[in-house]
Chains A and B, each alone.
Chain A
């Protein structure tokens, strides 16, 4: 069952990016590239060769496969079916999940430095700064979930609360979810922290790091970020959703919620302007404060 969920999740990942893009197209009054655009892009890119900067090393050559492998491992570890998942995802710690995403990040970072371009350097220097601020917020949210659920493994954190506990703790859960949504936007390089649309501009982070990545490597990078989008959205969805008895209904509910988050993200991107880079750390500090508020609420009862 768990293997089927993992396969479903890995197959569906590019669809959610399509949903976000389609929402944005709707708000902009465009027809949009269609929900399945990324699938076509990936199919095209995977068959192309990868030109590389002439002085780059094995780090550049192996970074994107390693980065994608770490995100895929995170997808394997993720408890798609809740507490009924397989033993590997049952025992995985939440720290492991987010550190796996971190492994992907550090290899992308090193590859962009390996290319030696000023733009990629700029992107990686910003990525370094943002991820530093994200880490504590993530662990405050995890700490809140531990406090709330009483378990320490990722599966028990995300098993969802019973209806009574859920209504009792709606306020702290909402605060933690709000904080994690900010993390989600920043981690996936969305507006207001980064703009996935602005290729080749000085204003971006993630896309800047991929300037020299092409062909199959670019396919790996694009698919990796789509999967990361899905994983972090699923984490957020499982935080909010109450407990379900049937694991199939639960999985469907999670994917539904991820689609809803994708639509919300599209709306946010259409209605909000990107923050100035100097302001972004302050927004993240604000998210950290909100996450801590959730803990006070939970502790004070």
Chain B
């Protein structure tokens, strides 16, 4: 039977493909925000309403917190960062957008193959949750590894965390949600730290390219104004 959770999970895969191939930072943030809200809603969608009745109040609170933090707060913070540092695009990804998209696609194939081998059909709430979770985690790692801008790397962490959440809610792990809230806190702290770091990098080097950190001590950094023109011309 068709369920909303299935549609949400299919959209998750499409969002992963889009994220891997998107160079516009605001676009990517919007995609991650949508994923975040979906992650929040997922435990409620996977709940067996007919036989298990109305779930505990805890589930609602957790869903709301998840959706608010991942779908609203963090994207707003990142959107603010993007506006503040005035970078719109990921210009020179380490792995090209086309190749990233193909890699994500290969991850999808791999995740479906692995999930089919695991034989966990009986225990999961939705058969699709496991492969989708694997793919999402992989996409997050890819974003962290293959992009240069600090903002995109924070997005990568968020996507990774989204994948973990899907895995947790898909497998209906009893205390998974508690563990996950811990991770969420970590990520939130991380986002703050990275946000602050981004501003610092930006203020010092007039660029948020983490690659530039490798060049610390180079002579051209003595003239931040000139460098600024070169990167944003």
Contacts and interface: CB of A to CB of B under 8 A. Distances in A.
State yes or no: do A and B touch (Cβ within 8 Å). yes
Contacts of B116: 300
B105 A292 contact: yes
A298 to B, nearest CB: 11
Interface in B161-185: none
Given A175-B10, A289-B101, A168 B131 contact: no
Nearest to B97: A282
A170 B8 CA distance: 12
A153 B128 CA distance: 30
B7 A282 contact: no
B1 interface: yes
B109 interface: yes
B180 to A, nearest CB: 25
A296 B127 contact: no
A290 interface: yes
A286 interface: yes
B2 A170 contact: yes
Interface in A165-188: 167-171, 174-175
B98 A285 contact: yes
B21 A293 contact: no
B2 A167 contact: yes
B143 to A, nearest CB: 18
Report the contact-size class of chain A (Cβ under 8 Å from the partner).
10 to 19
A171 B108 contact: no
B13 interface: yes
B17 interface: yes
A171 B7 contact: yes
B90 interface: no
Interface in B48-68: none
Contacts of B77: none
A124 B101 CA distance: 29
Contacts of B109: 296
Report the contact-size class of chain B (Cβ under 8 Å from the partner).
20 to 34
A235 to B, nearest CB: 22
A55 interface: no
Interface in B1-28: 1-2, 6-7, 10, 13-14, 17, 21
A297 B10 CA distance: 9
Q: Summarize A's interface: helix, strand, loop or mixed.
A: helix
B10 A300 contact: no
B199 interface: no
Q: Summarize B's interface: helix, strand, loop or mixed.
A: helix
B20 to A, nearest CB: 10
Contacts of A47: none
A31 interface: no
B192 interface: no
Contact of A300 (B98, B101, B102, B128): B128
B188 interface: no
Contacts of A286: 17, 21, 101
B112 interface: yes
Nearest to A299: B112
B14 A168 contact: no
A30 interface: no
B1 A168 contact: yes
Contact of A289 (B2, B7, B105, B128): B105
B108 to A, nearest CB: 7
Nearest to A292: B105
A70 to B, nearest CB: 34
Contact of B14 (A169, A170, A290): A290
Contacts of A293: 10, 13-14, 108
Interface in A216-275: none
Nearest to B105: A289
Given A285-B98, A286-B101, A292-B105, A300 B112 contact: yes
Interface in B73-106: 98, 101-102, 105
Contacts of B101: 285-286, 289
A171 B127 contact: no
A285 B17 CA distance: 12
**Which 9 interchain pairs have the tightest Cβ spacing?**
A171-B10, A167-B2, A170-B2, A296-B112, A289-B105, A171-B6, A300-B112, A282-B98, A171-B7
29 contacts: A167-B1, A167-B2, A168-B1, A170-B2, A171-B2, A171-B7, A171-B10, A174-B10, A175-B10, A282-B21, A285-B98, A285-B101, A285-B102, A286-B21, A286-B101, A289-B101, A290-B17, A292-B105, A293-B13, A296-B108, A296-B112, A296-B131, A297-B10, A297-B128, A299-B112, A300-B112, A300-B116, A300-B127, A300-B128
Given A168-B1, A285-B101, A300-B128, 11 more contacts: A170-B7, A171-B2, A285-B98, A289-B17, A290-B17, A292-B105, A293-B108, A297-B10, A300-B112, A300-B127, A301-B127
